[in-house]
Amino acid sequence: MSRQTITTDVVIIGAGIAGLWLHNRLNQMGFHALLLENKTIGNAQTLSSQGIIHGGTKYALNGILSKATQAIGSMPARWQACLDGKGDVDLTHVKVLADHQLMWSKQQLSSKMVSFFASKALSSRMQTVAKADRPELFRYPEFKGALYQLDEPVLDIASVLKNLAQPWHGRIIHTPESTEIMWQQNNEGVQAIQLNGIEIKAQQFVLTAGEGNGELLETLKFTKPTMQLRPLQMVLCKAKNTPQALPAIYAHSLGSGSKPIATITSHFGEDGNTIWYIGGNIAEQGVGKNFHKITTDAKDLLNDILPWFDFPELEWATHAVNRAEPKQSALSRPDTAFVESKNNVHIAWPTKLALAPDLADQIIKQLQKQNLQKNTHRMTVNLPPATISKPLWDKAFQ
């Protein structure tokens, strides 16, 4: 087979939030970076996410300001700068679903939690919501619990992907899923990859393929780092009749444990109906349950956490997805963004959407340490661009 060769400074594999953010930064800095995607942009974890730009408050519910809370604390401000056109990527056309999230508890919180939430470390990130400022759903007289507002926005992720992909779309390539990536490597690292008779030469290679990093590590014959998959089964519901649409809420429901019982975000279908996307304990415990069981559990849960609300007749869907992360002991949740480098190959997982800017910083630092050069490249081979995936809300109920 005749071989065509193209050259670039950096090859990035996997166009979820991690690959896209890095791709955008590198090209903007004047490097030539090619992003390869073998399905559609954002199709995996990124468009399965709830779009919450965590500031870490959720991870402090055990009354301790953990490493995760501290690492992620600066992320809402970092994203906000990008939304305002003053950050390292331009997100000025992103749709902000909510400026703040809520956290509610049916019962009054223990005095220990109240003082912790009011402490210096957390008070700048969360405030109690005065009765007069409560949204409709929490104005019912039967609601006698606590309501907090968290300084964490919720974004429409489809619009984030569009903003990040658009400026350098010509450098985001669709590689057929059936094509195995072949590595040309020696003791000093990787020189090129081969795909369907096309050779792509680069100085540096970054793997941001989420769950796909597992297979790429195998083909590279790297035994480290190792990956863990944490399965989730998310639940979606919407009113059967659009005129009775559910109210849009972005909120965590607190119980007595250290994790929210449920996290509800609201999204909008093509018909304008509001879709509640429910994560938290229900999604962790829903793994392996059949549709009837998990949706029955979800109905019971909603009636339990919002007993004062008269729900319209609802339609249900579920979404099974894995979180792909660096391996932790006992499948625990990693705290920070992760990158490990072996010569000129960098294996990365952001571990949270919110940490994508931090991950890009870390990778860029590694690339610069390895003396990445800005070269001029011409795309001599016509490669098909990758397209953006359809949002979950437009396919989950079909």
Residues that bind ligand FAD (CB under 6 A): 13-19, 36-39, 43-46, 48-52, 54, 175, 181, 208-210, 212, 216, 232, 234, 279, 321, 323, 349-354
Which of helix, strand or coil describes residue 277? Answer: strand
Q: How far is the CB of 110 from ligand FAD (least distance, A)?
A: 27
Compute CA 159 distance to the chain's CA centroid, rounded to the nearest angstrom.
Answer: 13
Nearest to ligand FAD of 36, 61 (CB atom):
36
Nearest to ligand FAD of 99, 133 (CB atom):
99
Q: How far is the CB of 179 from ligand FAD (least distance, A)?
A: 8
Nearest to ligand FAD of 32, 252 (CB atom):
252
Angle in degrees, 0-180, between the axes of helices 157-165 and 17-28, rounded to the nearest 10: 30
Q: How far is the CB of 301 from ligand FAD (least distance, A)?
A: 17
Which whole-number Å values give the CA distances from 8 to 201, 202, 303, in the listed order? Answer: 6, 5, 55
Q: How far is the CB of 13 from ligand FAD (least distance, A)?
A: 5
Token pair recorded at residue 317 = 């869907």
Nearest to ligand FAD of 146, 173 (CB atom):
173
Q: How far is the CB of 112 from ligand FAD (least distance, A)?
A: 27
Which H or E element spans position 374? none
CA nearest neighbour of 240 among 264, 275, 292? 275
Which whole-number Å values give the CA distances from 351 to 10, 285, 337, 338, 341, in the listed order? Answer: 22, 20, 6, 7, 17
Token pair recorded at residue 243 = 């005129």
| Strand spans (E) along the chain | 4-7, 10-13, 33-37, 96-98, 101-105, 126-128, 146-150, 154-155, 172-174, 182-186, 189-195, 198-201, 204-207, 227-239, 251-254, 262-268, 274-279, 314-326, 338-342, 345-349
Nearest to ligand FAD of 129, 279 (CB atom):
279
With contact defined as beta carbons under 8 Å apart, do 75 and 82 qualify? no
Nearest to ligand FAD of 36, 264 (CB atom):
36
Give the gyration radius of the chain's Cα atoms. 22
Q: How far is the CB of 241 from ligand FAD (least distance, A)?
A: 27
Nearest to ligand FAD of 138, 350 (CB atom):
350
Nearest to ligand FAD of 146, 347 (CB atom):
347
Say how many Å lie between the first and final Cα of the chain, rounded.
42
Which of helix, strand or coil describes residue 191? Answer: strand
Q: How far is the CB of 170 from ligand FAD (least distance, A)?
A: 17
Q: How far is the CB of 37 from ligand FAD (least distance, A)?
A: 5
Angle in degrees, 0-180, between the axes of helices 17-28 and 356-369, rounded to the nearest 10: 50
